[in-house]
Amino acid sequence: MKDRTRREFLAAGGAALAAAPLAGRVLASAPYAPPPAPAAGTVGYCIVGLGRVSIGQFLPGLRYAPHARPTALVSRDPGIAAIIARRYGIEPRHIYNYANFDRIADDPAIQAVYIALPNALHAEYSIRAARAGKHVLCEKPMAANSGQAERMVEACRRAGRKLMIAYRCQYEPATLRARQVARSGELGPLQMITARYGFNISPTFRLMGETRPEWRLKRALAGGGPLMDVGIYCLNAARFISGQEPAALQAEIGNTPGDARFREVEENLSWSMRFASGLTAACATSYGASLGESFELYGARNASLRLDPAYGYSSHRLVAGGAAPRLDFTPDFSGHRQFGAEAEHFARCILENREPRTPGEEGLRDMRLMARIYAAAGVKG
């Protein structure tokens, strides 16, 4: 992202609360309970970016991560940071802003950072965190483009720090069960996947009592439209559940003429993938229509699996159909638990010095595939 774009975005307050609506509404929606006593040997997380996901999901999710705790915050807004710090018992001396971010290198309470910023800022702050000696858990999509993602992987490698991409669905029981069934052979050879995720996006959001333009509709900040935001769930699920990588793909983009929201990013995108085994996938994502959030997998033995809901924060549901063994599985796994599971996994990887299940290389694969999807749809890089 150009330096001017970055400076303007930070000056507008977007980086600190980039995904947040009116601050009071965000805070009110985040139920508070004091963190449990930490387990022996914990990883201190610095939360970079206080918005909807970090305040409403990740921080509450740390209650379900016995080896992780919040120890520092990075925010442009000192008022919001102070409220969140009091809520989670974080001392004021562990509150940072974007000007003094690099001082986290001298804070022994921080072992890892959680990056919850707009896509185009992921690379900068992940790289700076690694250089500061901190491990990095970065929200998806990994970056705004594959070049940024490559630099993130290399920076963490050079610094000897771990890099994990927050693919929370890969730590969620229904998705893991779907993966196990798909690879067990119970469905027969896998034949077809259908996946979709979309919603009707608003051109603005409320922030600190003001109406501001939605950053997800700015290509310089988001890197693209719904494919980067919610379509990536369909792409990653197809790869993760099937255990296969696409060999060929096609794509089409459709924008409603005259809709000012989509001057820079796509409105609707559908794409198909073919795998070497003969498996095909038909996927769709949208910022113009509510498509729901589903994933369906069909096998040759007149058997199928359906995840619906498949990607959201509430508990996913997995149902088998046709000749498949009977299965109707809805785990008690709220959105907070999904975030807790990924935070706990990364903490254990740090404590036990092992590689995470969703490393930077996993995010980079999706970034490269999304670049191919855009190219197939005629979008120039």
Question: Catalytic positions, please?
Answer: 140, 233
Distance, in Å, from the CA atom of 231 to the CA atom of 293, rounded to the nearest integer, reads 10
Q: Which amino acid is at 50?
A: L
Structure tokens, 31: 């139920």
Q: Which residues of 59-84 are buried (b: 16+ CB within 10 A; e: fewer)?
A: bbbbbbbbbbbbbbbbbbbeebbebb
User: Phi/psi class of residue 226: alpha, beta or left (left: φ > 0; alpha: ψ in -120 to 50)?
Assistant: alpha
Apex 287 CA angle, 285 and 291, nearest 5:
50
Distance, in Å, from the CA atom of 201 to the CA atom of 121, rounded to the nearest integer, reads 21
Q: Taking a C-beta distance cutoff of 8 angstroms, is the pair 78, 10 a contact? A: no
Q: At what angle do helices 119-131 and 3-11 cross, to 10 degrees?
A: 90
Q: Taking a C-beta distance cutoff of 8 angstroms, is the pair 305, 324 a contact? A: yes
Distance, in Å, from the CA atom of 177 to the CA atom of 329, rounded to the nearest integer, reads 9
Q: Taking a C-beta distance cutoff of 8 angstroms, is the pair 264, 218 a contact? A: yes
DSSP conformational letter for 343: H
Q: Which residues pair with 81 in a beta bridge?
A: none
Sheet of 328-329, strand order: 246-254, 268-275, 280-286, 190-200, 288-299, 303-307, 318-322, 328-329
Structure tokens, 222: 């988001």
